[in-house]
Amino acid sequence: MKKLTLVACLSALALAGCATDGTRYRSDTYYATAVNQAQQVRTVEILAIGAAKVAIPNDVRRDDSGNLGMIIGAIAGAAIGNQSHSHRFSNRIVGGLAGAAVGHMVGDSLTGSGSGVDYVDGVQLTFRYKNKLYNSAQVGLPCEYKTGLAVMISTSPTETRIQPNNPGACPVQ
């Protein structure tokens, strides 16, 4: 029984750590394929900064939680199967398979599969480029930006990756 309690506690801790924080969507986050690659840069003038929430799909978190639940469920199921009086190998296999199925369902259900999104802190930037006004939402915090000149990196005609231009202004958390 102590093994099952330990497995349940580890499961809860692991699943709680699966939240999406939005880091991969930040304007200053780069995938390995973008490193050492030339990207078009423009300077823009930030005119207004506002707080926003950005909806990020949580499909990855849901898949990870379901798979983690399946693994933990398989281990717990095999341990339960091993507790039977006959100690047969087939009891452990059946217990592991049943535990994997139940664990996957539990892990999947614990991650908020109803909404399909996580909401992370974002910022709305109103900026001027070539005498035209634009607005762009970015994942980040308002304190990371200030009015004035900023760098915008574009890998496509409609992409606006405006880089934070206020380093060190956010309080350390």
Residue pLDDT, tens place only, 117-166: 888 999 999 999 999 999 999 999 999 999 999 999 987 888 889 999 99
**Residue 15 shares a structural domain with residue 47:** no
27 within 8 A of 153, measured Cβ to Cβ: yes
Which phi and psi angles does 121 have, rounded to 5°?
A: -65, 135
**110 or 147, which is more confident?**
147
**Residue 52 shares a structural domain with residue 63:** no
Q: Express each pLDDT in 14-36 by its tens digit.
A: 444 455 677 877 888 777 877 88
Between helices 59-82 and 2-16, what is the axis angle to 10°? 180
- For the chain, how many structural domains are there in total? 2
Side-chain half-sphere exposure of 75, counting CA atoms within 13 A: 13
**Residue 50 shares a structural domain with residue 13:** no
**Residue 82 shares a structural domain with residue 20:** yes
Q: Which two tokens stand for residue 53?
A: 């929430």
pTM for the model stands at 0.57
**Residue 90 shares a structural domain with residue 30:** yes
Residue 130: give the domain boundaries: 38-58+117-173
- Given 114, 136, 160, the domain boundary residue is 114
**Residue 83 shares a structural domain with residue 164:** no
**Residue 133 shares a structural domain with residue 161:** yes
Task: From 32, 62, 44, 39, select the one nearest 138 (Cα to Cα).
Answer: 44
What per-residue confidence (pLDDT) applies to 169?
Answer: 85
**Residue 149 shares a structural domain with residue 67:** no
**Residue 47 shares a structural domain with residue 106:** no
